[in-house]
Each structure stands twice: as structure tokens, then as C-alpha cells.
Amino acid sequence: MQIYWTPIQQVVQEARDTYTFKLELPEGFTWEEGAHTHFALEGFNQEDKPNRSLIRHMSISTLPHEGAIGITTRVKSECSTFKSILRDMNIGDKVAIFKTHSNVPLKREGKNVYLLSSGVGISTFRPLVLSYLANGEGVPHLRSVNVESSQEYLFSDVFKATDAFTAEFVDSRRAYHEAVETLAADKDGLYYVVGSDDFLRETIATLRERGIAREQIVLDKHDFQLDDFLN
Ligand SMILES: Cc1cc2nc3c(=O)[nH]c(=O)nc-3n(C[C@H](O)[C@H](O)[C@H](O)COP(=O)(O)OP(=O)(O)OC[C@H]3O[C@@H](n4cnc5c(N)ncnc54)[C@H](O)[C@@H]3O)c2cc1C
């Protein structure tokens, strides 16, 4: 397993308590849209066993051509040890990334694609939207619905409508589920879902009740975890 130690280049505040940590691109490091990585802090591999309190799964919110690995996350005043260490890090400090993989690349199968997310989960989808806006081949229409109760919607510069892309932001779970019920009228679409496990279960239930097959639902989970959510 290759571990890349790479410095923080820049920290961009996206909304209240929400930051994108832009990491320098190590030579030879690349990824597909929808990728997640293991993001770890100094000391995580100093003992026999990795110290899990210093490792988190994180999606990469950028594409390689942007010249940085973007990690977007919330750091609230009450937070884990991991987030409090991250908050105090400086530009130039190194973090580790390893085991990078995309379970949710954009499927270009001639079907409409729906990106359903809650909160900072929209970060996973930012690279899919950029990829689609650069090349719409194989996806007749792309539509995103994000629920964010704070109304501080993320990445509104990318998530704005074009002829073939619709971006919707809502501020309540009720409005979100109403939107999903409407979208689920497309019995042939592909439904990508990113958010907390509860959010996934609720969204999957709404989709399945409306006749969407499990093969049409795309989650950022390993194959062995999918049954737990989709059965
Ligand atoms: C495939 C995958 C991709 C992911 N991608 C992302 C991503 O792109 N961005 C992202 O942010 N997360 C992502 N996650 C989730 C991520 O791994 C973390 O689980 C998440 O960010 C929470 O981090 P944390 O555990 O450090 O808790 P925190 O974010 O610090 O806290 C979580 C909640 O617990 C409360 N809390 C925590 N510690 C305390 C405390 N000591 N006292 C009181 N309250 C406390 C906080 O207020 C907060 O509400 C991903 C997960 C997976 C599996």
C-alpha cells in the first residue's frame, strides 16, 4: 500500500464550519470522479496497529486537472480529536492519503442520473458534475438535489443549472423527500445517494417504494456493504 504524505496548500472556507483542505498533488497520484480516500494525520501509523482516531474516510471534492486534492469537511466547535487536530494545522503541514478508490464514477449508460445528497455529502458529487459539464456523453440529463438545513448551500458556483443539468437545494427533509418522490417517476434513471447511513436508508426506502430497482441505486459503499443497505 502506497502512503502519500502531502502538504496542505490552502484552506478555503466554503460555509460556516465547512472547509476545503487543498492538498498538493503528489507526483503520480490520480483519481476518478466520486473517489474517496483514507485521510490520516501524523502519528497514525506509528504503532503496530494503525491509530483509527487519526484516520477518516473522505471524498475528494476536486478533479485532477484542478491541480489539488480537495477534502471538504465540517469542523464544528464541538468535534472529534481528528477534527480538532485538523483545525489547528497550518499551510505546509503534511497529511497522509492512501487507499483511494471510486465506487461512484459517473455511469454513462444513456440513462438520466440523479445525485441525492445531504449536507457536506454534496462534495462527493462535485467532481461528477464537473466531469459531466466537460463531457455530457452518455448521460441525457443530470440532476442534483441537496438538503442542507442551514441554507448555506455548498458549491453553488458548480451546482447551477444548464440545459442538461438541474441543481436543486432544499432546506428540510420533507421538501427533500417530496423532490425524490417526483424524481422517482423516472423508472429508468440511476440514483446516486450520499449522506449519513440514516439518510441513505430513508432515501432508499422512498426510491424502492416507488419501484426503483436496487441495481439503479448507487452508493459509496463496498460490495460487501451494499446488501446491508439495499436488501
Ligand atoms: C466513503 C466515505 C466518504 C466520506 N466522505 C466525507 C467527506 O467528504 N467529508 C466529510 O466531512 N466526511 C466524510 N465522510 C465521513 C467521515 O469519515 C467522518 O465520519 C465525518 O466527517 C465525521 O468526522 P468525525 O468522526 O471526526 O466527527 P466530527 O465531524 O468532529 O463530529 C461528528 C458529530 O459529533 C459531534 N461530536 C464529535 N465529537 C464530539 C465531542 N467530543 N463532544 C461533543 N460532540 C462531539 C459533532 O458536534 C458532530 O455533530 C465519509 C465517510 C465515508 C465512509
**What pLDDT is attached to residue 67?**
96
**What pLDDT is attached to residue 16?**
96
Torsion of CA 97, 100, 103, 107, to 10 degrees: 110
Share of the chain above pLDDT 90, in %: 94
Judge whether residue 141 has pLDDT over 90: yes
What single letter denotes the amino acid at residue 139?
V
Is 59 touching ligand 1 by the criterion CB < 6 Å?
A: yes
CA distance linking residue 176 with residue 201, whole number of Å: 14
Taking CA atoms only, the protein residue closest to ligand 1 atom 30 is 79
Residues 72-120 have pLDDT tens digits of 999 999 999 999 999 999 999 999 999 999 999 999 999 999 999 999 9
The arithmetic mean of pLDDT across residues 13-28, rounded, is 96
Taking CA atoms only, the protein residue closest to ligand 1 atom 17 is 57
CA distance linking residue 54 with residue 46, whole number of Å: 11
Average pLDDT, the chain: 96
User: Which of 21, 61, 78 for mutating ligand 1's site (highest number of atoms within 8 Å of CB)?
Assistant: 78
Distance 186 CA to ligand 1 centre (A): 33
Judge whether residue 222 has pLDDT over 90: no
Closest CA to 158 of 139, 134, 182: 134
Is 78 touching ligand 1 by the criterion CB < 6 Å?
A: yes
Band (pLDDT 50/70/90 cuts) for residue 228 is: confident
Judge whether residue 229 has pLDDT over 90: no
User: Which of 31, 37, 59, 154 for mutating ligand 1's site (highest number of atoms within 8 Å of CB)?
Assistant: 59
C-alpha cell at 191: 440514483
Band (pLDDT 50/70/90 cuts) for residue 227 is: confident
What is the phi/psi pair of residue 18, to 5°?
A: -125, 125
Rg (CA), the chain: 18
The ligand 1 atom nearest the CA atom of 123? 8
Is 101 touching ligand 1 by the criterion CB < 6 Å?
A: no
Taking CA atoms only, the protein residue closest to ligand 1 atom 21 is 73
The ligand 1 atom nearest the CA atom of 124? 8
Is 36 touching ligand 1 by the criterion CB < 6 Å?
A: yes
Helix/strand/coil for 190: strand
Judge whether residue 140 has pLDDT over 90: yes
Residues 171-205 have pLDDT tens digits of 999 999 999 999 999 999 999 999 999 999 999 99
Band (pLDDT 50/70/90 cuts) for residue 230 is: confident
Judge whether residue 124 has pLDDT over 90: yes
CA distance linking residue 231 with residue 214, whole number of Å: 8
Closest CA to 55 of 90, 97, 22, 17: 97
**What pLDDT is attached to residue 118?**
98
The arithmetic mean of pLDDT across residues 131-137, rounded, is 97
CA distance linking residue 93 with residue 219, whole number of Å: 32
Pairing type for strands 55-59 and 35-40 reads antiparallel
User: Which of 61, 80, 97, 194 for mutating ligand 1's site (highest number of atoms within 8 Å of CB)?
Assistant: 80
